[in-house]
């Protein structure tokens, strides 16, 4: 109650769910990168995807929020967990790197961050919000997907088929080499 009153009286104040969800997103993304154990990285990445889905819900993109949970958190991350289980990495095989690699990677990341933030810092003055606020609903997206984007939609089917064939072919054990 107090928070809604605060938000109504000061409309320019930062919206607190956005801040909370953004902190969860950034902290779990940092944990994905810095964690020593790959299983913890996968779990932190699932948290990141769920919080990005919350962002999608806040942005009125309900269809993409659901698809994000189903495809990323449901399918891709389960695939990662299965592969981690299959590989059975008992001890930590990742060797200790030189500190210079960390410095180089940090400098590259921070430089890109600096350039992109500098490019986007005054974007609020340059673009105007659109009037249509129902773009994220399934009705509108489906109508567009099956009319304007019909050919790319069919091509994604072919892409999936070829990816499936490639994954099966790559994952198959080569028996001839083992016998000889």
Partner 1 sequence: MSLLETGFHIFDKVGISNYLFLSVLLFCIGLFGVLYRRNAIILLMCIELMLNAVNLMFVSFSSYLGDSNGQLFVFFIMVVAAAEAAVGLAILVSIYRNTRNTDVSFLDNLKG
Residues 1-20, interacting with partner 1 (CB under 8 A): 7, 11, 14-15, 18
Of the residues 85, 140, 150, 154, which one makes contact with partner 1 according to CB under 8 A: 140
Contact call for residues 8 and 17 (beta carbons, < 8 A): no
- Give the binding-site size for partner 1 (rule: CB under 8 A): 91
**Window 49-78: residues binding partner 1 (CB under 8 A):** 49, 52, 55-64, 67-68, 71-72, 75-76
The reply on whether position 105 binds partner 1 by CB under 8 A is yes
* Closest CB 179 distance from partner 1, rounded Å: 16
Q: How far is the CB of 177 from partner 1 (least distance, A)?
A: 10
Residues 117-136 that bind partner 1 (CB under 8 A): 117, 120-121, 123-124, 127, 129-136
DSSP-assigned states of every residue in 53-88: HHHHHHTT-HHHHHHIIIIIIIIIHHHHHHHHHHHT
């Amino acid at each position: 109650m107090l928070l809604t009153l605060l938000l109504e009286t000061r409309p320019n104040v930062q919206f607190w769910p956005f801040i909370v969800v953004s902190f969860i997103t950034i902290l779990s993304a940092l944990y994905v990168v810095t964690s020593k154990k790959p299983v913890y990285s996968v779990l932190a990445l699932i948290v990141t995807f769920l919080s990005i889905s919350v962002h999608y819900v806040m942005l009125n993109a309900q269809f993409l929020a659901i698809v994000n949970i189903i495809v990323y958190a449901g399918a891709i991350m389960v695939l990662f967990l299965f592969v981690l289980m299959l590989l059975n990495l008992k001890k930590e095989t990742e060797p200790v790197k030189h500190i210079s690699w960390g410095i180089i990677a940090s400098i590259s990341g921070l430089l890109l961050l600096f350039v992109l933030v500098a490019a986007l810092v005054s974007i609020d003055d340059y673009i105007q919000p659109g009037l249509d606020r129902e773009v994220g609903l399934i009705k509108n997206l489906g109508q567009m997907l099956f009319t304007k984007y019909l050919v790319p939609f069919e091509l994604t089917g072919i892409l999936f088929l070829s990816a499936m064939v490639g994954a099966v072919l790559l994952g198959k054990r080569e028996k001839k080499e083992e016998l000889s």
